[in-house]
């Protein structure tokens, strides 16, 4: 019997794809749009501050995407403190309305004062999340792989938690596996692995661990063939999720034969000399 994949619920919104894709770093918007299609994603992240500042790579971005097909996930990338993140999040909600998504209260919360390592600030993130939840946002906070912080954010009403696999844009894969596993095992909201995924096997691994989804940008946009990578990432997520649902074979320190050994004769065949 074929295993049926369930839908992904974030807040009161239902999605079929478990791959979220970013809109930064593409050569041009045509390439970006093609990658979104190839990835079969439904949720697309948009950096509000880059739109606000008319960043060249984001100029015309809102008009370039069919927002009837994709759900906008505005993000607060570039914000260094809680107050700034809250202000930018409100702009993101208005941006979603301009795109025709009147009831879109989603926000990917990023508070990153560290410009060198781009590590999220746990204190600023929690402070901003508390305020945004009170104001009716569906908050998806980007965090270090900290199980205690993840649980606290869930308790205050965040709709998801987004622990990093490794440093943003590093393509190092999942380096925080043990902590992420704890987050997954204890979360009652979707866990979305964000940052560090470099190849489809990284995405598959995240899903095999039990993550609900992954968010990918640089690994697709900066690939030699972004379209092919977008399709491959979709396949990696699908394969990993199906493997998780199927239930993996438990690891063992001993070898286990593929064929049963019971019923096999222990006698040896005697070769008789027939004189030939």
Minimal CA–CA distance to 223: which of 197, 194, 193?
A: 197
Residues paired with residue 181 on neighbouring β-strands, in sequence order? none
Helix (H, G, I), strand (E, B) or coil at 244: helix
Residues paired with residue 164 on neighbouring β-strands, in sequence order? 194
Residues paired with residue 192 on neighbouring β-strands, in sequence order? 213
**Residues annotated as catalytic (active site), given as ranges:** 108
- 163-174 per-residue burial string, b: 16 or more CB within 10 A, e: under 16: bbbbebbbbebb
C-alpha span between 219 and 233 (Å, rounded):
9
C-alpha span between 232 and 143 (Å, rounded):
26
Residues paired with residue 106 on neighbouring β-strands, in sequence order? 138
């Amino acid at each position: 019997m074929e295993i049926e994949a369930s839908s992904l619920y974030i807040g009161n919104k239902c999605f079929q794809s478990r791959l979220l894709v970013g809109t930064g770093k593409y050569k041009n918007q045509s390439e970006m749009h093609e990658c979104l299609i190839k990835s079969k994603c439904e949720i697309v992240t948009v950096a509000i501050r880059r739109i606000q500042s008319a960043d060249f790579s984001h100029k015309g971005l809102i008009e370039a995407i069919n927002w009837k097909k994709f759900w906008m996930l505005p993000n607060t990338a570039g914000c260094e403190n809680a107050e700034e993140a809250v202000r930018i999040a409100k702009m993101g909600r208005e941006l979603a309305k301009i795109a025709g998504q009147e009831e879109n209260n989603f926000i990917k919360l990023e508070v990153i004062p560290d410009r060198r390592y781009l590590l999220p600030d746990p204190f600023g993130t929690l402070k901003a999340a508390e305020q945004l939840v009170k104001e009716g946002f569906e908050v998806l906070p980007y965090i270090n792989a900290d199980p205690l912080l993840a649980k606290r954010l869930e308790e205050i009403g965040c709709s998801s938690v987004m622990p990093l696999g490794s440093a943003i844009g590093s393509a190092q894969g999942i380096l925080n596996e043990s902590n992420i596993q704890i987050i997954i095992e204890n979360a009652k909201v979707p866990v979305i692995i964000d940052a560090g995924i470099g190849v489809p096997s990284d995405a598959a691994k995240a899903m095999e661990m039990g993550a609900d989804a992954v968010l990918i940008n640089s690994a697709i946009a900066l690939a030699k063939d972004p379209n092919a990578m977008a399709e491959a990432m979709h396949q990696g997520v699908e394969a990993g999720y199906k493997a998780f649902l199927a239930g993996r074979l438990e690891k063992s320190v001993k070898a286990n034969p593929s064929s049963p050994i019971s019923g096999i004769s222990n006698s040896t065949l005697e070769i008789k000399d027939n004189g030939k």
